[in-house]
Amino acid sequence: MSTKMGTNYLGVVDYIVVAATLLFSLFIGVFYAVKGRKGSNNEELLTGSRQMGAIPVAASMLVSYLSAITILGYPAEVYSYGSQVFLLSLMGPITTAIAICLFVEVMYDLKLTSAYKYLEYRYDSIVVRWMGSLIFIVQLLLISGIVMYAPALALETMMGLPLWMSVIGIAIIGTIYTSIGGIKAVIWTDVFQFGMIFVGMAAIVIKALSNAGGLYAAWEIAGNRGRLELFNWTFDPFMRHNTLNILVGNGIAGLFFVVHQPVVQRYCSLPTFRDAVKSLLWSYIFGFFTISLVILTGIAIFAAYASCDPLTSGQIAKSDQIVPYFVIKELAFIPGMMGLFAAVVFSAVLSTISSTLNSLAAVTWDDFLVKIPCFKNMGDFGQSTTYKTLAVMYGIIIVVLAFYAEHLGSIFQAAITVVTTAVSIQGSVFLMGVFLAFVNKIGAVVGMITGIILMGFLSVNSFILQKKYSFQPKLDFSTDNCTQEVYDSFNSTSIKNSTLLPASELEWPEKLFTVSYILYPLIGCCITISTAVIISLLTGGRQSAHLVKPQYLHSLVRPKKMIDLDEGGKNNAEKINMGFTPDSEAPQIEECKM
């Protein structure tokens, strides 16, 4: 069966499935818009009046980071490089538990809408807060462009839709239900889309395993061809993936995700601290099973095509197309299955885009606009209108950025690089704020600037070199059993891939830019913290450490113990006369300080 990419393979039933998925997502947004039309304000739109449930919030946290990158990128990663990325999931219990102990206590007590408001309170500087917010905004816009490109690529493959049409259509739908329904619409739509993703990927796995001869046969084929090498203890920071690099690099990134705005906004929307912890733990559990499923998808599809690789034979141009190719080739004959996968892709990207727009609007409002008198004095209607306008504005920007994402190479690596680099710099400032009272605003600002400049320099040079050099060759593929029909459609894809020179030929200092992207969080963290500590010590940080209010520090380093949990697990609001105030009552800084 010849499979021509870019042809419309969807039938009537498929379109019904896709339409039903999109309409239901819109319905949730409209429902919460109508339900909350009376008395709706930014508190309702951005935090759900802090009355959400732990399980839905957990699913929303997960789906916000799954996106189409997980659906398309993870299987492609396993298909090309093996299953070592599964270690990212196995580390979850450790990083989640440590992160809860390090950060959630402080962040939840402050009842934050914007995570970066903490930076202003802790460092007594609006500039530190603005820098944290700007890093977040730029990072989220860049990653959203990649997230939008991935499903558009799949839909172009499956439906013949032009890339621009897919990008704009997805953006319009996500923007509408996010802007009118707020965080409640985002969370409950995420729950629905999580179910769609799980069902759709399970169907692909079942079919792929069937084609490969069953789970045992697929496992054996993948193992014999190097796709199941989970642990590689080689000490080499220049190796793309090995066990030590993943444990260290991803371990640091995992710690800092609990101070990332989309996550903070969600667990701070819960009524109690216990619910916040519960949601984070459930989010890991959901994530473990979902990542296991997409890893198995990559293994199963590789086993199914072990003797006739579509990439090497020129059937697809990029490994990121392997999942939609499999669906077209093997599932198109079943009514509704193509539609189900298209719905999975739509669900994955909509969940991420909606969370992105909600978080961007929250940060922009809370960190920038609310301090301007004309916005600060707005009524409920004016606030909600401003929020909706911000969501639409950011939706337009993301559409523009999506058209440049195709030049970034592997969507998996590009996404991981953008997210973890930014998170490591931001997270370092939160970590110092919670544990190192002597780190002052000057140190924090200089640390962030230094981290951004050096990590940006590293990332850009690495990106340039990847156009000429292969940092880690893909594992072997075979075309031994390809039919003549497949060879007749052969194009120059495999030749193009083989012209890259091995990165091992590079000499210093260029070799420095070939360090594994998975170690970027470690590098960014070390640069930011070391710079901030040195500058703080040189600018009187020790002398001013006593001025930091205890509620902005972890209980382990506070002058007095402030943790007082009642039997229900909720933090006692009266904190032993330490002047504790939640977000809505936190001390307002009257002037811009630096």
pTM as predicted: 0.77
Question: What's the distance, CA 331 to chain centroid?
Answer: 29
Tell me how many degrees the CA angle 33-38-41 measures, rounded to the nearest 5.
Answer: 75
Instruction: Tell whether 523 is covered by a domain.
Output: no
At residue 274, what is the residue type?
R
Counted domains in the chain: 1
pLDDT class for 491, splitting at 50, 70, 90?
A: very low
Q: Do the domain assignments include residue 488?
A: no
Q: Is residue 569 part of a domain?
A: no
Block residue for tokens 């903070």: 264
The answer to whether residue 277 sits within a structural domain is: yes
pLDDT of amino acid 570: 40
**Residue 469 belongs to what H/E stretch?**
strand 469-470
Residue 350 lies in a domain: yes
Terminal-residue alpha carbon distance, the chain: 66
- Tell me, yes or no, whether 135 lies in a domain: yes
Q: What angle do CA 297, 303, 308 make, to 5 degrees?
A: 120
- pLDDT average, residue stretch 513-529: 89
Q: For position 572, what pLDDT does the model report?
A: 41
Residue 331 to residues 9, 315, 335, 489, Cα–Cα distance (Å): 10, 17, 9, 21
pLDDT digits (tens, 9 = 90+) for 306-361: 888 888 877 887 777 888 888 888 888 888 888 888 888 777 777 777 777 877 88
Q: Which of 419, 366, 418, 372 is nearest to 390 (CA)?
A: 366
- The pLDDT score that the predictor gives to residue 60 is 76
Q: What is the mean pLDDT of residues 447-451?
A: 94
Is 249 inside a domain boundary?
A: yes
Structure tokens at 375: 């916005």
The pLDDT tens digits of the residues spanning 450-475 come to 998 998 888 878 877 776 766 566 66
Do the domain assignments include residue 370?
yes
How many Å apart are CA 455 and CA 458, to the nearest integer?
5
What are the tokens at 130?
């603005």
Return the number of other C-beta atoms located less than 10 Å from residue 467's C-beta.
Answer: 9
Domain CATH number, residue 281: 1.20.1730.10
Asked if the model's pLDDT at residue 2 lies above 60, the reply is: no
Domain span at 155: 12-393
